[in-house]
Structure 1
């Protein structure tokens, strides 16, 4: 096989291989994948996975341990087809005195209409169509004595609506996708909504070409509620082969010692100013990112492409700057900034982790947004511009 074919096996996603982990008795491990399968195991891809859906990296709660990932080291081992890395440095602290509990509860119903709009002024047509559908429904609700929608969410995909004030679309687009999602306490109300969507294609603005998936489906909303519950309030008994063995008594470790110990006090990070220069870089040139969710909270991990770049990222990409960049995600921006966003450093992999609280419109199936789990937030942050930097091209030529 030629070099080109071998590269295809290494990077193709069509035949991607699942990772294989071999763990040593010291907790360190090697990570690789089957030979001649697609995908890539590298320092970059594994670093992204380390910060995926992470809160405080120094205190990650599990039932039997509280993990500290801040000083994890990831090293590439050369010569393996598809990549191999060595991971070390994870540390464990005693388990907390509480169980993590995730509960769900019923919270009404939702329905989402997705429709393609084409032609001049597609964005304006999509917005107007959505507004008129909602107006018609409210008229029906009023006639039948039904309550108003508890929430209405309108997006026009293709117009960079997800970027909020950072959208670069300053003229109307000629094709777009209308995303119209609604929430109501009664299923009956949303069944009226579902019937009003299709007629919009023939009786409202021209260019609405298709309702994706047909008539919107009405589905129940289950909201997630997570909390810590004292272990000593739960009696745990261990049985084997149907016979009682013993009562399990968890260790008494107060959780109060753990929360937010790893949060960065940004005003104390730099004692001396960094060199400046005339250059502007997009974040994508300096770092790679990964984002995810925990209920209604999102996280964005930012990993420097070179260790010497990290101080510049720490100086520019503060919690305040990221909170302002994603201001449109927060329904309430009152109160201290720490109630909306916190930054944690992960020095072992030259990274930072931003945690955005109550930023996903309810999260999961409770959210009416097109990105209810924050999967796109890291990619969106890559367009963040950092100005007045020295020439970092030499460092970028040796990406790690």
Structure 2
């Protein structure tokens, strides 16, 4: 057995804890081979694109289009220790300008008088860069992206902009090859633009273990490495963050939530890996916490489509092999598709959100009455002033279980936050809406006070859309070192026959055989859950707490039950997938986030609460003798 490669991840998104990288570098020292960080979400790409557009509208061509905090908050204080320990750094902090990020790092190295460190940038993901027009008309072979079909790309897909509608940004999701090539050429720090999150982990493993397509188990290794990247790319979400059994992490030894341990994977040459965290840190690494993260933001678990491989996680199995150490095995890999997923952003009008605190008896009813009155009042003003009506309007009484829809049970609450959101093409119309929110405190219901953030302002309504383009239309580029010349990365072969549409079958979750007697219990007593977003799609992963519970969970939690439970947000389809190896089910809900994280008007625009809604709302019927007394509460 070769020495495992140890990779730690300190950032799950742009805004993660500034103490995370310091923790991993100081506590792991020279034992950490690679430090990786994920900064780019769909929302982040929208923020960067909007910032760039504002700058260009002001006539400023030059600006910072990468994640500058990576340089100021991570590299500046930690570079001496990273260099001393021999730890290499890989991150997608390059954002919309990886080359500019590389140059900024090289300037920092000069300022700190640190020599011998080679910096590389992987770029070329901006597929609009060579287009004469930033519209879909510029692409000859662009198709929608379906979250529930790998061959019918238009099936239940998110909406695309009109062919002639201007696009702010459009970036392809690259794989690991460019980063691996940079490491092969001696790079110590590699920055990228839009890559799949797992590529930050897959690339150093390709480099270290010399994995090659000629090896018979190459795609299985890539699949396992991709799963390792998927597990740790969201930071503490595999070490007790966002965990159903939250008390285990919150009150864990060494500080609990206040000192959460960031994740580390120890990967062997065969692709098998152990998930762990630094010693003497809070949080928990268990089969339950890792299972939840594996289910996070996945679609069809048999076809987790990546640029370099198709990951099949249906038969993945976990084993606790030590304190806060979980072994992950069983991932299968297949030749990738001919397509590359792209993340696009376009502008569709403006939106505005305002908040009021409403207290006292009948708080929910008062709040909804006020919201309705404000809407009618402003609509009349638009009519009187010859303005178009609001394109859309949404109000929520937060604190009254509004996110549960018809399943909400808190009509008696004495304190709610009324949240109003409007969508319009004219900022002047939205400013009028903003001016009419605060006066309700004196001319409407009693017990109203401001939300504390002052008068709201209109913001661009950015819309994210996913799509597919052929790999033949885009290639990654690489530049290594100060005097490095641009290099073009060629794609490895892909599956032209689309055999991924007919993957091997695996044993399905069996039907229950017990005849009863049965008792009902809330799903949370017998299952864990995790949910997340992919554009306007949410997934809800449900994991049985014990394998013997799974057949009964499967029988009780059907697509029909999930549709009924989540119909207050889900306006599309519900599809159930099975993961027998993890004793889990995954539900994919299309058109369930009000347009997606950037443009949605609902409070939970990324589906983060969806699994907890289902766990606490759905009843499951199990044999009485199968449940512990505690589970029947």
Common fold, TM-score beyond 0.5? Answer: yes
Matching of residues 206-355 of structure 1 within 5 Å: 206-234=446-474, 243=485, 248-254=490-496, 256-258=498-500, 273-331=513-571, 340-355=573-588
Relative to structure 1, the CA distance from residue 247 to residue 121 in structure 2 (aligned partners, 3 Å threshold; closer, same or farther) is closer
Matching of residues 1-400 of structure 1 within 5 Å: 8-9=252-253, 12-78=256-322, 80=323, 83-169=324-410, 171-234=411-474, 243=485, 248-254=490-496, 256-258=498-500, 273-331=513-571, 340-383=573-616, 384-387=618-621, 389-394=623-628
Is the Cα contact below 8 Å between 1:165 and 1:328 reproduced in 2?
Answer: yes
Gaps of 5+ in 2: 1-250
Relative to structure 1, the CA distance from residue 271 to residue 134 in structure 2 (aligned partners, 3 Å threshold; closer, same or farther) is closer
Cα offset, 1:210, TM superposition: 2.3
Is the Cα contact below 8 Å between 1:263 and 1:342 reproduced in 2?
Answer: no
* SS at structure 2 position matched to 1:45: helix
Q: Which one scores higher on RCO, CA 8 angstroms, separation ≥ 6?
A: 1
Is the Cα contact below 8 Å between 1:98 and 1:255 reproduced in 2?
Answer: no
Q: Per-residue CA shift, 1:234-290, capped at 9, x if unaligned?
A: 36677776557667255242485446969999xx97567543323111101100000
Cα offset, 1:202, TM superposition: 1.5
Is the Cα contact below 8 Å between 1:237 and 1:248 reproduced in 2?
Answer: no
Query: How high is the TM-score relative to the length of structure 2?
Result: 0.56
Higher strand proportion: 1
Moved more, 345-354 or 255-264: 255-264
Higher helix proportion: 2
Query: Within 2, Cα distance between the matches of 1:56 and 1:327?
Result: 21
Q: Per-residue CA shift, 1:13-34, capped at 9, x if unaligned?
A: 1111101111111111111111
Cα offset, 1:396, TM superposition: 8.0
Relative to structure 1, the CA distance from residue 153 to residue 348 in structure 2 (aligned partners, 3 Å threshold; closer, same or farther) is same
Relative to structure 1, the CA distance from residue 381 to residue 232 in structure 2 (aligned partners, 3 Å threshold; closer, same or farther) is same
Cα offset, 1:187, TM superposition: 1.2
Relative to structure 1, the CA distance from residue 306 to residue 100 in structure 2 (aligned partners, 3 Å threshold; closer, same or farther) is same
Query: Within 2, Cα distance between the matches of 1:164 and 1:213?
Result: 27
Cα offset, 1:310, TM superposition: 0.6
Query: Within 2, Cα distance between the matches of 1:375 and 1:64?
Result: 28
Query: Within 2, Cα distance between the matches of 1:307 and 1:122?
Result: 44
Relative to structure 1, the CA distance from residue 130 to residue 271 in structure 2 (aligned partners, 3 Å threshold; closer, same or farther) is closer
Query: Within 2, Cα distance between the matches of 1:295 and 1:104?
Result: 11
Relative to structure 1, the CA distance from residue 11 to residue 235 in structure 2 (aligned partners, 3 Å threshold; closer, same or farther) is closer
Q: Which residue of 1 aligns with 2:242?
A: none
Is the Cα contact below 8 Å between 1:264 and 1:344 reproduced in 2?
Answer: no
* SS at structure 1 position matched to 2:358: strand
Is the Cα contact below 8 Å between 2:353 and 2:422 reproduced in 1?
Answer: yes
Q: Per-residue CA shift, 1:147-179, capped at 9, x if unaligned?
A: 11111111111222211121223x443211111
Query: Within 2, Cα distance between the matches of 1:247 and 1:306?
Result: 46
Q: Supply the RMSD in Å over aligned alpha carbons.
A: 2.6
Gaps of 5+ in 1: 1-6, 332-338
Relative to structure 1, the CA distance from residue 125 to residue 88 in structure 2 (aligned partners, 3 Å threshold; closer, same or farther) is same
Q: Which residue of 1 aligns with 2:195?
A: none
Cα offset, 1:113, TM superposition: 1.1
Query: Within 1, Cα distance between the matches of 2:397 and 2:376?
Result: 18
Q: Which residue of 1 aligns with 2:26?
A: none
Query: Within 2, Cα distance between the matches of 1:187 and 1:247?
Result: 44
* SS at structure 2 position matched to 1:209: strand
Aligned residues: 378
